[in-house]
């Protein structure tokens, strides 16, 4: 993290809104907290689903939003027209590489296969020692209970070392995620 710039929080979440309105509500709460702490948000660049909800809330809070979107998804994921800082990449892999480089911390909200891909990307990178940044999973309505069980199962069956469970943290609320990030990044902000 550049000493003179605000921490960049990369948010991984669904390009859909899910079946329960609490998912969108929690996405908006996270966006407000990111803005309220003077952080900026990095994300997949789309305007739909929880991605759009979070990005709009950050912008409405007056903070900076940067989207990274593969060219072929511009039509599908519909970047908001206000999004001036849209980085267009040739493919999904390049998008993820840039996200991992540009972010200071990662927050995972409920989402689909794309969100899970992003979760495993940062968790495997961290467990292999090529990424050392906070990773927080917000367990909205228990959405990630099955993911927690899968990770425990992977360790129990001997396909990963228990240390992998320590490279990310599962928390219940966006506020806990932001507090953990502030602590890990050594910031004193408390809002």
147 near ligand AMP, rule: CB under 6 A: no
Single residue of 96, 131, 140, 170 touching ligand AMP by CB under 6 A: 96
Single residue of 6, 16, 124, 125 touching ligand AMP by CB under 6 A: 16
Q: How far is CA 157 from the centre of its chain?
A: 28
79 near ligand AMP, rule: CB under 6 A: no
| Residue 131 DSSP symbol | -
15 near ligand AMP, rule: CB under 6 A: yes
Site map (CB under 6 A) of ligand AMP, residues 99-128, x = contact: ------------xxxxx-xx----------
- 51: closest CA among 82, 76, 74, 77? 77
Single residue of 10, 11, 14, 30 touching ligand AMP by CB under 6 A: 14
Using Cβ positions, the residue closest to ligand AMP within the complex turns out to be 114
Q: Which two tokens stand for residue 156?
A: 């129990």
Answer left, alpha or beta for residue 78, where phi above 0 means left and psi between -120 and 50 means alpha. Answer: left
Of 69 and 182, nearer to ligand AMP (C-beta) is 69
CA dist., res. 35 & res. 134, Å (int): 18
CA dist., res. 25 & res. 8, Å (int): 22
73 near ligand AMP, rule: CB under 6 A: yes
Instruction: Evaluate whether 151 touches 165 at the Cβ level (below 8 Å).
Output: yes
Return residues touching ligand AMP (CB under 6 A).
14-16, 44, 46, 73, 77, 92, 96, 111-115, 117-118
């Amino acid at each position: 993290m550049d000493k003179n710039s605000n921490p960049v929080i990369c948010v991984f979440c669904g390009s859909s809104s899910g079946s329960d309105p609490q998912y969108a509500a929690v996405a908006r709460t996270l966006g407000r907290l990111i803005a309220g702490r003077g952080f900026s948000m990095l994300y997949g660049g789309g305007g739909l689903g929880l991605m759009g909800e979070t990005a709009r809330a950050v912008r409405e809070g007056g903070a900076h939003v940067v989207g990274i979107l593969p060219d072929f998804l511009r039509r599908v994921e519909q970047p908001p027209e206000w999004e001036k800082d849209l980085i267009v990449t040739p493919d999904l892999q390049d998008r993820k590489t840039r996200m991992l480089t540009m972010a200071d911390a990662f927050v995972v909200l409920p989402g689909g296969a794309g969100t899970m891909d992003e979760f495993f990307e940062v968790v495997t990178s961290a467990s292999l020692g090529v990424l050392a940044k906070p990773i927080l999973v917000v367990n909205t309505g228990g959405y990630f209970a099955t993911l927690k069980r899968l990770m425990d199962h992977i360790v129990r069956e001997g396909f990963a070392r228990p240390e992998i469970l320590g490279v990310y943290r599962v928390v219940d609320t966006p506020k806990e995620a932001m507090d953990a990030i502030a602590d890990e990044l050594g910031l004193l902000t408390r809002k």
